[in-house]
Amino acid sequence: MQPLAFTLSKIENLMHQVTFDPLTGRGKIITNTSLVRKEQIEETLAVFHDAITSGLAVCPLIKLEEDGKHVRIYTACSMTIDGVLLKQGIPVRPKGGGLIEVLDREPLRFTDMLMYWATTIDPIDILIAQELTGITGMMRTGNGRILGNLQEVPMLARERIEEVLDHLARVEFTGVLELGEPNMDVLGVPVERDHLGIALVGGTNLAAAALEYGIGIQTESISGLTEVAEMGHIEDIVC
Amino acid sequence: MKLLTKAHSSQRRLIEILRVIDEADKPIGARAISDLLSERGYEIGERAVRYNLKILDELGFTKKHGYTGRALTHLGMRELSDALVNERIGFVNAHIEEYMYRTTFDPATSSGDVVVNASLLSKNDFEQAFDILREVFDAGYAVSRRVMVLDEGDSTLMEVPAGCICLATICSITMDGILLKAGVPVNTSFAGVAMVRGREILQFTDLIAYAGSSLDPIKAFMSRRIARVSDALRGGTGTVLANVREIPISSSELAQETIQRARQAGIGGLVHMGESGITTFGCPVGAGKIGIAICAGVNGPVAVEEAGIQIKTLPISAMLDYSKMQEVL
């Protein structure tokens, strides 16, 4: 019998297929997929818009696709940033996904975490089911619990990483919660020797916020690749 | 305020004090806290404990009860479950080890302590729930037919509120305890969702390693409602929760005999021992090891929940004397 594939290998498989170039703004990115009933799409997009403007998304790009009585929504997954770093020759290792406590709009610490090597289900999908998130609370008051993840890179690559993250930010790919100092904990989680940690905001916060609002949304994170040219800016879609 | 603003070493010390207070069943004073800390390897004198308690009071994590006792506040409990995430990744393994060590069940005499899961449900659902449990036990998708029912007001396992009953089912970790006591080095590695048909495991469809999560994997699967135990009853294909432990190849004969003896004493259910050097139904197994897959004891309560009955289950929650538990016939 074939051994099961764990989340880490699924992520690496998709990272390898990322072709997005922050300088040209073209190529494929990793996306999460959400499915909602047609009559709820307006409400869903309103929540997504709010969450994106609160800084809870990787980028403001979104793609809609009709599917019978449902609409499928594609949004950027934070693993896109790992993919872009990889394509710039930086050995980036996704470590795990977790829940991040936010106080006064500042990410404070991870309060739960699942390592990518350890699970076949995306940690974020597991954490959503625990009903421990407090994303809408964070949007309204600046305090709450959001989804995020942690990756490690060699400290040697620091300057190059800052440069790439800068290029990404210029095309509205943000979502970096914390870029750690070499060998120092990132949001309470230690890194390996001579590495630094990068905490990213999980793209699934959008779907989790919709769930908290009572919208019946089905979501699958890190589910595939989407061409950026097929996506539109949330501001152009919600008006 | 959060502990995180403090240096790591003082965070550890403060958290350890919170843990000691949490584990005491009533408010506890500085002297007793100091003694209990010393058992855990923290040599902190009574005066120093008092100083730390003052800090914890100021942070709002502890509160004075009576003249000298301290108890945790709601905030303190929350801090205990939120702080130092890195030390909580894999904590379930330590919890399992503790319960394996406490297992005293002896298959030869059918007596001794076993590990149980505790479920809470309404009295009104009692009969329907038992019919479902019986079906799960008949199909072999649980660890044992023995249960204990505790009435409202009882506090053996937890405070049972009025109108509710507490149901204790035997947890699969009992088997790890039995193997350990027989001299087999066991390492409970993965919890998973297994596809089953007619008392046979076909393959795992999802897995979470105990060592890589700050959440109990079985609890994580339960809240995702990922299993379909009721589909597996009456000979159909369905999915149940199960877990895998690794043992060295050289222990396989001893393990087989031990499992057989436990089974004769009523503890077993669907147990499958893998072959050496290959995965167990798709679950990775280390080199030189054999995987043993066992259906989780919580499959009974999971099937009850699938029938639409409200039930709250805490896996691996206590030890009970096997001879005091009753068989569901």
Domains and CATH numbers, chain A: 7-238 (3.30.70.1360)
- Residues ≥6 apart with Cβ < 8 Å to B76: B18, B21, B22, B56, B60, B61, B62
Candidates A113, A117, A129; nearest CB to B85: A113
pLDDT (tens digit per residue) in A216-228 = 999 988 889 999 9
**Cα gap B312→B302, rounded to integer Å:** 10
Measure in Å the smallest separation between the Cα of A188 and chain B Cα atoms. 7
pLDDT (tens digit per residue) in B124-155 = 999 999 999 999 999 999 999 999 999 998 88
Going edge to edge, which strands form the sheet with A176-179?
Answer: A106-115, A93-103, A144-154, A195-201, A176-179
Residues of chain A with pLDDT under 50: none
- Cβ of B85 within 8 Å of Cβ of A109? The answer is yes
Whether pLDDT at B317 is above 90: no
Candidates B82, B84, B212; nearest CB to A117: B212
Q: Which of B56, B47, B46, B41 is nearest to B10 (CA)?
A: B56
- Cβ of A118 within 8 Å of Cβ of B204? The answer is no
pLDDT (tens digit per residue) in B154-187 = 888 888 999 999 999 999 999 999 999 999 999 9
Provide the pLDDT for residue B279: 86
pLDDT (tens digit per residue) in B55-98 = 999 999 999 988 778 999 999 999 998 988 988 998 899 999 99
Whether pLDDT at B1 is above 60: no
Domain locations along chain B: 3-87, 113-327
The mean per-residue pLDDT over the stretch B263-278 comes to: 88
Average pLDDT score over chain B: 92
pTM: 0.91
Alpha helix ranges (H) inside A91-233: 123-129, 135-141, 158-170, 205-212
Q: Do domains B3-87 and B113-327 have the same CATH topology?
A: no
CA A211 from centre of chain: 17
Provide the pLDDT for residue B3: 62
Domain B113-327 has CATH 3.40.50.720: no
How large a percentage of chain B has pLDDT more than 70? 98
Provide the pLDDT for residue B5: 64
- Cβ of B4 within 8 Å of Cβ of A108? The answer is yes
Provide the pLDDT for residue B235: 73
- Cβ of B278 within 8 Å of Cβ of A125? The answer is no
Whether pLDDT at B46 is above 70: yes
Provide the pLDDT for residue B4: 60
Provide the pLDDT for residue B9: 75
Whether pLDDT at B119 is above 70: yes
CATH number of B3-87: 1.10.10.10
Measure in Å the smallest separation between the Cα of A125 and chain B Cα atoms. 9
